[in-house]
């Protein structure tokens, strides 16, 4: 006899229909086989039809920064709205975590910039200074790009922001090249 608990197929169906987790992740989360999840989904005609609704609910929550959870789960079959709520809560927490991580890189960029402002450029340190400057610019550019993604700003800009950023970085790199003392 196996000590393995029987899978909670209702919970597995909810995760499947939410469309946020991969089937492999769902199987791992519920301690069952991926093939079992696929087979059950096919047999019961489960549809991964809530993905766009979950994304929309996540966007709405991120706009209001109100990532609250609801602890209600009745004995009755979970409603579509409840599935969307739970899945969007998870996605919201993930994006908020990403935002915190990006803020750390922004801080790193600020520290590099602050340090470079204190350095006096000399014949002996101009190569190291230029490398540090380029590293600082690179960290800042990546942090800005990640911030824009984490806050969903790129969707509204249509790509023009990246063109402006690239032009700015190119001009900064040109300026840093001119700092090199022959």
Residue 121, φ and ψ in degrees, nearest 5: -75, 125
The mean pLDDT of 128-143, rounded to a whole number, is 85
Q: What's the whole-number mean pLDDT along residues 61-70?
A: 53
Stretch 155-164: mean pLDDT: 50
Q: Tell me the pLDDT tens digit for each residue of 76-127.
A: 566 778 888 888 888 788 778 877 888 888 888 888 888 889 989 888 988 9
Query: Which pTM does this prediction carry?
Result: 0.41
Band (174; pLDDT cuts 50, 70, 90): low
pLDDT at 36: 93
Give the model's pLDDT for residue 136. 83
Residue located via tokens 């969707």: 155
Residues in the chain: 182
Count of other CB atoms within 10 angstroms of residue 99: 16
pLDDT above 90: residue 155: no
Average pLDDT of the segment spanning 150-163: 56
Tell me what pLDDT residue 166 has: 60
Calpha distance 116→134 (Å, rounded): 11
Res 35: pLDDT: 93
Q: Is the dihedral of CA 51, 20, 144, 64 positive or negative?
A: positive
Other C-beta atoms within 10 Å of 9: how many?
A: 15
Instruction: Kindly list the distances between the CA atom of residue 80 and the CA atoms of 14, 18, 88, 107, 112, in Å, as whole numbers in the listed order.
Output: 9, 9, 12, 41, 48
At 39, list the tokens.
């087979």
Per-residue CA distances from 150 to 92, 93, 104, 116, 159 (Å) = 11, 12, 13, 28, 15
Q: Using an 8 Å Cβ cutoff, are 48 and 19 in contact? A: yes
* pLDDT reported for residue 165: 56
pLDDT bin (cut points 50, 70, 90) of residue 164 is low
Q: What phi and psi, each to the nearest 5 degrees, are found at residue 76?
A: -70, 165
pLDDT 10s digits, 5-51: 788 999 888 888 887 778 888 888 899 998 999 999 999 988 887 77
Structural tokens at position 68:
């609250």
- How far from each other are the two terminal CA atoms of the chain, in whole angstroms? 79
* Other residues' Cβ atoms within 10 Å of the Cβ of residue 93: 14
- Residue 32: the pLDDT is 92
């Amino acid at each position: 006899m196996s000590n393995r608990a029987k899978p909670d197929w209702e919970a597995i169906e909810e995760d499947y229909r939410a469309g946020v987790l991969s089937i492999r992740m769902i199987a791992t989360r519920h301690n069952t086989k991926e093939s079992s999840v696929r087979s059950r989904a096919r047999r019961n005609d489960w549809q991964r039809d809530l993905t766009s609704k979950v994304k929309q609910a996540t966007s709405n929550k991120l706009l209001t920064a109100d990532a609250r959870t609801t602890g209600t789960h009745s004995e009755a079959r979970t409603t579509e709205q409840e599935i969307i709520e739970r899945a969007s809560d998870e996605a919201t927490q993930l994006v908020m975590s990403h935002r915190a991580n990006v803020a750390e890189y922004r801080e790193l960029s600020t520290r590099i910039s602050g340090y470079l402002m204190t350095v006096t450029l000399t014949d002996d340190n101009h190569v190291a200074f230029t490398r540090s400057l380029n590293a600082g610019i690179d960290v800042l550019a990546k942090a800005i790009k990640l911030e824009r993604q984490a806050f969903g700003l790129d969707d509204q800009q249509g790509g023009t922001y990246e063109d402006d950023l690239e032009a700015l970085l190119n001009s900064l790199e040109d300026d840093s090249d001119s700092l090199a003392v022959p």
